[in-house]
Amino acid sequence: MTDNPDTLYIGDRCYSSWSLRAWLLFARFDLEVTLREVDFAKAEVAAQLAHLAPARTVPTLHTGDGHLLWDSLAIAEDLAERFPASGLWPADRGLRALARSLAAEMHSGFASLRAECPMNLRCAYADFTPSDETRADLARIETLWSHALARSGGPWMAGAYSVADAFFAPVAARIAGYGLSVSETAQSYVDAHLSDPAFVRWRAEGLATGGELPWYRRDFPQVPWPGPE
């Protein structure tokens, strides 16, 4: 172990969903980290991370003892290994298996929702009609959330907040930001994310420090953000 803090490279807070996931792992579990911001409007991310090759995307973690991780799930597992008392994964084996399966499916799935509804914490939209593929993604998400909450008893998917919830936070932001229709159970889980102090802080810092990136904008009527400001 080292006294040097980890360094986490993140993108624009309002748009970088994977950066949000990794940052929540530190913020929600009270782990020390130094942040370095990669400017999406400045140059290609890979070029800005050239000194950390082969990393080429955000988030990238440079650990205090000199190791490099450039994938969110790898970062989660590394933190859980180094800080086992922090509770990133549930202590209960069954809930831990549940949380790991949820995080892994989110990590590799829901391509249509991601493509049609890029995370944008600067605004919310009305009158968006999802494709059949995105509706299928939403149906699967509702199945997972309902199963997990019923299995664990809530309030988060594995009972206490875990890696799985950090991974689904940007999904909740997409559902809220595009006004996607979901069940009462799913909407309550979305609202829990929107009201989570760590999420609120991340969004507020994004609004204060970043600028609008026009390639994330969508041509739908804008409405007020549906969560706390």
Backbone φ and ψ of 136, nearest 5°: -65, -40
Residue 36: beta bridge partners?
9
Domain 6-86 class in CATH? alpha beta
Q: How far apart are CA 146 and CA 124, in angstroms?
A: 25
In the chain, the percentage of residues whose pLDDT exceeds 90 is 95
- Tell me which CATH code domain 93-216 carries: 1.20.1050.10
pLDDT in tens, 59-116: 999 999 999 999 999 999 999 999 999 999 999 999 999 999 999 999 999 999 999 9
Between 43 and 46, whose confidence is greater?
46
Please check whether residue 167 is in contact with residue 107, taking contact to mean a CB–CB distance below 8 angstroms. yes
Q: At what angle do helices 93-108 and 163-177 cross, to 10 degrees?
A: 40
User: Quick check: 43 pLDDT over 90?
Assistant: no
The model's pLDDT over 176-216, given as tens digits with 9 standing for 90+, comes to 999 999 999 999 999 999 999 999 999 999 999 988 999 99
C-alpha–C-alpha distance, residues 211 and 225, integer Å: 17
Going from N- to C-terminal start, the domains of the chain cover 6-86, 93-216
The tens digit of pLDDT for each residue in 114-161 reads 999 999 999 999 999 999 999 999 999 999 999 999 999 999 999 999
Which pair of tokens denotes residue 58? 């955000």
